[in-house]
Amino acid sequence: MAGSKPPALDFRGVGKAFGDTVVLDDFTLTVAPGETVTLIGPSGSGKTTVLRLAMLLERPDRGDIRVLGESITNVSAKESRRIARNLGMVFQQFNLFPHMTILQNLDLAQRTVMRLGRSAASARSIEHLEMVGLRDKADCYPLQLSGGQQQRVALARALTLRPKVLLLDEITSALDPELVGEVLEVVRKVTAETDITTLLVTHEMRFARDISDRVVMMDEGRVIEEAPPRTLFTKPSSPRTQAFIRRVLDH
């Protein structure tokens, strides 16, 4: 990596506690540009917090976090907003704005953040809806769509801002099983067709295995083990990883 681009995401000795609960403890992880990395581990191991810290939704107590080489830990609100423009995040609960149509959901940030005019924004919104196969839903309201469709819209909405790094937080966990596939298909397409960096948390082990360049096993706020998916899923070196993988694959 000498002399090459800085890592897309770089967590160095990050600590985070909520009250007395230590969520991350000396968490260190580097994600290279264009890489797709999946965080796995038992619930409560701090996976979601890693994403929320990267998105600047939470502040770390200790350590440093860098996005594309720039530290986001001790910067002004204005600076952090500028850096956050490189990031996009999709949530477990979709978080679409229920009072706006699908098109308005996609237009809003383009118009206020990218400062595009109405027609330019809408044209891009339609393009992105087409990409997730939901062009015909542009004028619907979120609650008129299925969970899977809402999540595809949420993905499209995040992508309209052309983030360099995409954070996906258990984006299929709130979905009925038969709707999981369509959402993962979109993620697969995006990661394959663009040079976007993706850090995701998922409980879909098969998907993690297919899509990831690297899988990171977390427990108790630390990285236990990281390896390419084939290695990690077939020959995990840590007993905790072995136990976790056995447990989830049994289901």
Find the shortest distance in angstroms from Cβ 123 to another protein.
19
Query: How far is it, in rounded angstroms, from Cα 55 to Cα 53?
Result: 5
Instruction: Among 9, 39, 68, 87, indicate the residue that binds another protein (CB under 8 A).
Output: 87
What is the bridge-based pairing of β-strands 21-31 and 9-18? antiparallel
Q: Is 57 an interacting residue with respect to another protein (CB under 8 A)?
A: yes
Instruction: Among 17, 22, 32, 109, indicate the residue that binds another protein (CB under 8 A).
Output: 109
Q: Is 112 an interacting residue with respect to another protein (CB under 8 A)?
A: yes
Instruction: Among 143, 177, 192, 195, indicate the residue that binds another protein (CB under 8 A).
Output: 143
Structure tokens at 104: 């308005």
* Residue type at position 8: A
- 129, 153 contact by CB (below 8 A): yes
Q: Is 116 an interacting residue with respect to another protein (CB under 8 A)?
A: no
Compute the residue count for the chain. 251
Q: Is 123 an interacting residue with respect to another protein (CB under 8 A)?
A: no
Q: Is 214 an interacting residue with respect to another protein (CB under 8 A)?
A: no
- 108, 97 contact by CB (below 8 A): yes
Q: Is 147 an interacting residue with respect to another protein (CB under 8 A)?
A: no
**Cβ neighbours around 157 below 10 Å, total:** 26
- 206, 200 contact by CB (below 8 A): no
Q: Is 75 an interacting residue with respect to another protein (CB under 8 A)?
A: no
- 151, 159 contact by CB (below 8 A): no
Q: Which stretch binds another protein (CB under 8 A): 14-22, 27-35, 90-98, 196-204?
A: 90-98
Q: Which residues bind another protein (CB under 8 A)?
A: 55-57, 81, 84-85, 87-89, 91, 93, 95-99, 101, 108-109, 112-113, 141-144, 157-158, 161
